[in-house]
Amino acid sequence: MGDNDTPALALGYTTTNTTQFSAGQYLISRLAIYPGLSILDVGCGTGNLTLHLATLVGPKGSVTGIDPSPSRLAIAKSLAIPANAAPIKFHQAKAEDLSLFRDGSFDVVFVNSTLHWVQDQARAISEFARVLRRHGGTLGISGQSGDFEAHHERIKREVLSREPYTQFPEIEPPRFLKKQEMEKLLKNAGLAVYEMGVNKIVKKAKDAKDMVEWLDTSSGGKTYGGIPMGEMREKARGEMEVLWEELVQEGGGISMDLELLVTVAVK
């Protein structure tokens, strides 16, 4: 996620990530996960889904989580692993570079709410394919669809297009893949699409501050593009909250539609 992430944001994510966890559970429901499998969780974050996967594959399986954020990995490594779960290993690594692992190391590569942060998505998917076992290794990906623009994208774009924020361009912006783009990347990596569809969900927040807090903790502080920490970032946050307040419903609260592109591909 880059240099914006902090221990405080990582800790905050553990209490705000129910949307991502639910999306991950949906992705799991599309995969044939059973005891004894070896799984790589790419972008494991604070590890709650990694731990869930470990309970699904059991003591005879194995689960490995990777994430670029040391703050989130520190929390993941502190999780208590139940006796009925697989052993878990955590490594600091990026999706584009899985050189820690040999070819064919995993039965399943699991990528939830992560791929949009990866800068070289083609290389990452090629790496996913490389570390999957031959003849049936499965890749599962869930993330916001590039064929649909959610409110948070529009609000971020509108605020960051104002002065003086335009002077601080985002160095590694998120990139949400469209269906056709995903299909092309998978084909180029030698993977066959088994299933591809859209998971429509609604993100609810009690108010504008609550929504921005979720965006902050989910993105590791990248809600504000390249704006440096300090007074200017707080000003941008306030301007975003004003726009979110416009979306508060009559009975209170904010509801944001999201469309997640869910992909299952096999090697």
Q: Are 214 and 19 in contact (CB under 8 A)?
A: yes
Measure CA of the first residue to CA of the last residue in the chain; give whole Å: 28
Asked whether residue 249 is domain-assigned, the answer is: yes
Contact 228, 168 (CB under 8 A): yes
Query: What pTM was computed for the model?
Result: 0.95
Question: Based on the number of CB atoms within 10 Å of its own CB, is 251 exposed (0-12), middle (13-18) or buried (19 or more)?
Answer: exposed
Residue 262 lies in a domain: yes
Contact call for residues 40 and 124 (beta carbons, < 8 A): no
158 found inside a domain: yes
Q: Is residue 102 part of a domain?
A: yes
pLDDT digits (tens, 9 = 90+) for 206-220: 999 999 999 999 988
Average pLDDT for 77-86? 95
Domain presence at residue 2: no
Q: How many CB atoms lie within 10 A of CB 70?
A: 11
Cα–Cα distance measured from residue 112 to residue 25, given in angstroms and rounded to the nearest whole number: 9
Position 169 in a domain: yes
Q: Is residue 1 part of a domain?
A: no
At 3 the pLDDT is 57
Least confident stretch, 69-73, 189-193, 216-220: 216-220
Q: What does DSSP assign to residue 169? A: -
* Structural domain harbouring 195: 7-266
CATH number at residue 103: 3.40.50.150
Average the pLDDT over 191-200 and give the result.
97
The predicted-structure confidence for 28-70, as pLDDT tens digits, reads as follows 999 999 999 999 999 999 999 999 999 999 999 999 999 999 9
Reported as a single tens digit per residue, the pLDDT across 106-153 is 999 999 999 999 999 999 999 999 999 999 999 999 999 999 999 999
Closest CA to 4 of 53, 68, 90, 55: 68
CA distance 241 to 219: 16
Which DSSP helix (H) or strand (E) runs through 197?
strand 192-205
Give the pLDDT of residue 6.
78
pLDDT tier at 15, thresholds 50, 70, 90: low
What is d(CA 91, CA 266) in angstroms, rounded to the nearest whole number?
25
Residue 220 has a pLDDT of: 86
**pLDDT at position 187, please?**
98
Please tell me what DSSP assigns to residue 86.
-
Q: How many structural domains does the chain have? A: 1
N residues, the chain: 267
Could you report the per-residue pLDDT of 150-163, keeping only the tens digit for each? 999 999 999 999 99
Per-residue CA distances from 146 to 17, 96, 132, 259 (Å): 21, 20, 26, 9
108 is a domain residue = yes
Q: Which amino acid is at 143?
A: G
- Cα 227 from chain centroid? 22
